[in-house]
Amino acid sequence: MNKREKILEFTEDIVRKFKNLGINVDPNSVRKRLELLILEFKVPENEAYRTVINYLTKEYDISKEKLLLKESPLVKIEDITMPDTWISLKAKVVQLWDPTSPNVSQVGLIGDETGIIKFVIWSKAKKRDVEEGKCYLFKNVVTDSFGGRLQINVNRNSEIIEIDEDIELPKKDISAIGALVAIQQGSGLIQRCSICKRAMSSGVCPIHGPIKTYDDLRVKGVIDDGENVYEIILNEENIKKLIGMDINTAKKIAEENLDRNAVLAELKNKLLGRYLEIKGTKSGRYLLVKDVRFLDIDLGDKVEKLIKEIDTLSGV
């Protein structure tokens, strides 16, 4: 869809939103404002849409919340094309991330059969925690745009209802071969909150505070194949397959050294610089590894073989 087609789509949507409240806005005026912002001032499309919405709500003295909450249709993720729209959707929680702000209760990725999108549950919403792998009806959530990417926000007007459905996710399997060039912070023998499963920080859950924990083993790393860089997550099963270390082994290393960081040191010693063949699913920032193995690459043998082939062709 080109920019002018997008402008027409935005114009129709804005006019419809206000008409639902009994307000007739001039389509030509809306279109011209969008053209000015997008075509002349090069404002990103979603930001231009938001700017026009904000202007009209002030012009007609109505709350933005009233305008957007008027409609909340059940949609698929692939149907989410613009910010500032109230929707409902059924989705599976694909991955939870560690919130970086106390204003955020939970953040991560949700998906349905048509796509995957970021979600944010704001702390002020005071909503129930969701769990990875479970499916929910996210009712009356609002679309937003952050960093040029669409996401959904759960606020005080939203509802989260667990549903007994198995929602399939889009298959985005990736295979890659490359060197593990970095192991990131948050790797090793970590502690998770027994309630929300978030990684703990200094023994404290960012949401539930000091609480009972359980141990987990993971590597957040970076694979470089010479052309692309992949951020990957290796779970306990992946790590055990590669170097034989499971959660019990990791605990023993930590106990013997009186330091949990000894586990991370061991992981770096045995994994960094090694070539891996990985297969996994791209999920937002990270590639979630399903299968992995070491790949022994002997460049010396390859060079020697190439020299022999050149000598043969040259008649030496």
- Percent residues over pLDDT 90 in the chain: 54
Provide DSSP, 22-71: T----HHHHHHHHHIIIIIS---HHHHHHHHHHHHHHHTT--HHHHHHT-
Prediction pTM value: 0.51
Pull the structure tokens for residue 10. 């935005």
Among the ranges given (123-127, 200-204, 294-298), the one the predictor scored with the smallest mean pLDDT: 294-298
Instruction: Output the pLDDT for position 16.
Output: 86
**C-beta atoms surrounding 58 within 10 Å:** 10
- What is the architecture of the domain spanning 173-299? Beta Barrel (2.40)
pLDDT of 127 > 80? The answer is yes
- pLDDT tens-digit readout, 7-59: 999 999 899 888 888 899 999 999 999 999 999 998 888 889 889 998 999 99
pLDDT of 303 > 50? The answer is no
The letter for the amino acid at 125 is A
CATH number at 77-162:
2.40.50.140
- Average pLDDT value for the chain: 87
Instruction: Output the pLDDT for position 180.
Output: 95
Pull the structure tokens for residue 72. 């909340």
SS3 (DSSP) at 14: helix
- pLDDT tens-digit readout, 231-265: 999 999 999 999 999 999 999 999 999 999 999 99
